[in-house]
Structure 1
């Protein structure tokens, strides 16, 4: 609603994020080397029952709210991109933890790029948000700067904005892999042997330093208003609050052991078949071709709710998996609520303790 109400670049940002999300999801399903997760079936499914409508709409929600919130710091393109990435990743990590426990999607069991997990969430899923989010932001504002010479949220012509939306949506995926994911993950993890956890922490520390150093000398317009009201309690703040409270409530009240997910999952089949492929830096790696029903390590699911309490024999792409109870519910709540509190605090400082949204009608000098 806010994107439509504000218009201009705010609308362009939402549309670019939507296109970027569709491109990313499509590539992940069609390229075998990175086809390693499967969404649960939803009311509206697309792309061969692989893409739920709600997931397609989640991309612009998270990209939009993190970008607009970070833009209020008034720090310029690069610090804004990394400030937005931190906001995006902390919010989406809560989503990831809840989603996997409630079987909203499942992961490939033996894919080496997602083998290391945190509460069953691959560290590379967090790295995906940390690397794709800033690339999207840099492209969205950078292409606009080159085309129009205007400030980040000062709108160009209709044709310019349309071109920016299309170029950002199409280029964000390959640009993110080339400029962020390969140097910040594959070079450290695959070439040098660092763990995925170390890669995530290193990226987070790097981004914090970038944003903190820029904000130390931030402009006056990015500081809280000295007088009068700060109209930060708008639709964006409401979305952040609803998002956080929803996941906090699910962590407390949801019963994952009652979840039954019938649909497309990792193909089920023989345990002895493997496939080899090249990773992003040219190394040959391998994974099992099928999920082995007698030797898998996905503690968030089992087959206790299906007839006989075990997986069906033979090769299957469509089958039923069952949720499992919390191993330590108190720990689960502590982790989810901790990230919720971190996200709320960070967003509060971006939204309420920084500057105002840039007016789409305001005239600026180019810089």
Structure 2
């Protein structure tokens, strides 16, 4: 089984997710424990919910252990249980519930745990208890959700802890489907994912409603990585920017919904374009030229408030629409299709840049020579870069898959070229197109800019206009009629008469051929 075989890559992904899940669980309860200790209060936390969660974790771990499932698939449960013990201890202490009765119940718990682990208590009893872990675990999260809503205070609730819980539960759905396919475990993790996300959402909404919990939320994350601001203040200060962000995010999500609906390679295109946005914006942050572009504050900023989160939705929003439109042009020349995708990306990006720069959604420093020449505030060089980078992305996205999977050729009809291949080939294509297109696009940009502008001194606007004229020539030469289709009809000829009518005479076709 090769690494790039469909089954091979699925199990590799499962192992990676298992390792990430276990690593996340190493610290998942630590933020919650620290929050309770710092505040010396468990307000907003449900004691009954924590105890029910403890029972659910214990039964699930013992069930996996006694059935001999792969240890890596449930290793996080021993880790979670240790942290759960510590968390329950502090919650009981600050709620003044740590008395004689608590120690008696702890002794009963230890006896039952050892009994199941050593097979003194029959494992068949665990089989009967496992179906109850789903409603018990769900009830524990519902009780936590109710505790937050009743107290209207999520100060003691750690957003990181519940975020990790939602993430790890969702990854376990995938790993269990590949490992055992146990329906009871799948139902348990599926419901837990939904409810953990609900608790996280409730805590976030409460955190944004008051200044103190909002500040507490900001303290949960390193400021250099993620910074959160009050959306109401940003809406009052710069409403056009908030509208622009919402438009891009909604557009990106609608594109994702359309990609999932269409199937085939379209979801991989969406993910590849989103990854392209991460790489392009990340390279700008680590590049010395990153100091020349400054964004206005947004609700969520990354990398020391330098990269707004909504930018990562812009790329799939623009790329997906461009590729969809290019696929409908029915171009004969594949080079024309790649060029068309690049031009359509620029066509969507140009008004976006014009409006954003005009309304100070971001600022470009005039001291940077590459950005000095502009058309209605949008730099010519940015238009050229996005054109060649998206052209390279299109070329690599279609050709990398065919190079790895010889059964798929680049000369196939459009509907076949968008049919999904093996998972391994599609994942490698997705990552390869996103990463390599940045380097290839930069090389193409320098190939145009350096000799013509730096050496010969030709203005960038002349270079960009010249490139677009060359592109128009390619279209005129190869594809000016490629998108014209003849209507559905039956073909006719003159096979049933002695000779065809003379040229220029009025005539009617008289011999039909069978329609196929």
TM over 0.5: yes
Are 1:123 and 2:384 an aligned pair?
A: no
1:185–1:196 contact (8 Å) kept in structure 2: yes
Q: Name 2:437's counterpart in structure 1.
A: 172
**Aligned partners of 1:212 and 1:108: how far apart in 2?**
38
Confirm or deny: 8 A CA contact 1:77 1:141 kept in the other structure. no
The whole-number CA distance in structure 1 between the counterparts of 2:337 and 2:291 is 31
1:99-110 alignment runs, 5 A limit = 99-110=356-367
Per-residue deviation, 1:224: 4.3
CA shift for structure 1 position 183:
1.6
Structure (1 or 2) with the larger CA radius of gyration: 2
**In the alignment, is residue 207 of structure 1 matched against residue 471 of structure 2?**
yes
Alpha-carbon offset, residue 227 of structure 1:
5.4
Q: Does 1:51 align with 2:307?
A: yes
1:216 corresponding residue in structure 2: 480
Secondary structure at 1:100 match in 2:
helix
Say if 1:148 and 1:74 are closer, same or farther in 2 by CA, change over 3 A.
farther
The offset of 1:212, in angstroms, is 2.7
Alignment deviations for residues 221-258 of structure 1 (CA, whole Å, 9 cap, x no partner): x4347259xxxxxxxxxxxxxxxxxxxxxxxxxxxxxx
In 2, distance between residues paired with 1:108 and 1:115? 8
- The CA deviation at 1:79 is 0.9
Determine whether 1:186 maps to 2:419: no
- The answer to whether residue 294 in structure 2 is matched with residue 38 in structure 1 is yes
In structure 1, distance between residues paired with 2:329 and 2:283: 33
Indicate if the aligned counterparts of 1:70 and 1:83 stay in contact, CA closer than 8 A: yes
In 2, the alpha carbon distance for the partners of 1:138 and 1:46 equals 30
Give the Cα–Cα distance (whole angstroms) in 2 for the partners of residues 143 and 189 of structure 1.
Answer: 32
CA contact (8 A) 1:113 1:124 kept: yes
Alignment-derived partner of residue 461 in structure 2: 197
Contact kept, 8 Å, 1:82 with 1:211, in 2: the verdict is no
2:350 to 76, 93, 102: 93
Q: Distance between the aligned counterparts of 1:147 and 1:124, measured in 2?
A: 34
- Cα pair distance change 1:65/1:123, threshold 3 Å: same
Structure 2 CA distance, aligned partners of 1:145 and 1:34? 36
Q: SS at the partner of 1:216?
A: coil
Shift of 1:217: 5.8
CA shift in 2, pair 1:31/1:206, >3 Å: same
Structure 1 runs of 4+ aligned residues shifted over 3 Å read: 222-225
Q: Does 1:226 align with 2:487?
A: yes
Distance 2:279 2:308 in 1: 14
Kindly tell me: are residues 33 and 53 of structure 1, through their superposed partners in 2, closer, same or farther at Cα, counting changes over 3 Å? closer
Query: What is the Cα-based RMSD across aligned positions, in Å?
Result: 1.8
Higher-helix-fraction structure: 2
Residue pair 1:67, 1:84 contacting (<8 A) in 2 also: yes
Residues matched between the structures, number: 224
Q: Quick one: distance in 2 between partners of 1:161 and 1:89? A: 26
CA distance in 2, matches of 1:109, 1:216: 40
Gaps of 5+ in 1: 229-367
TM-score, normalised via structure 1 length: 0.58
Matches within 5 A, 1:1-367: 1-33=257-289, 35-75=291-331, 76-149=333-406, 150=408, 151=412, 152-178=417-443, 180-216=444-480, 218=482, 222-224=483-485, 226=487
CA distance in 2, matches of 1:224, 1:35: 50
Quote the Cα distance in structure 1 between the aligned partners of 2:478 and 2:265.
24
Q: Is the 8 A contact 2:385 2:442 kept in 1?
A: no
- Partners of 1:193 and 1:36 lie apart in 2 by 22
Higher strand proportion, which one? 1
Separation in structure 2 between the aligned mates of residue 17 and residue 69 of structure 1, nearest angstrom: 16
Q: Deviations over 1:158-184 (max 9, x none)?
A: 111011001111111111111x20122
Counterpart-to-counterpart distance in 2, 1:174 and 1:112: 21
Contact 1:97/1:119 (<8 A) preserved: yes
Distance of 2:341 and 2:324 partners within structure 1: 8
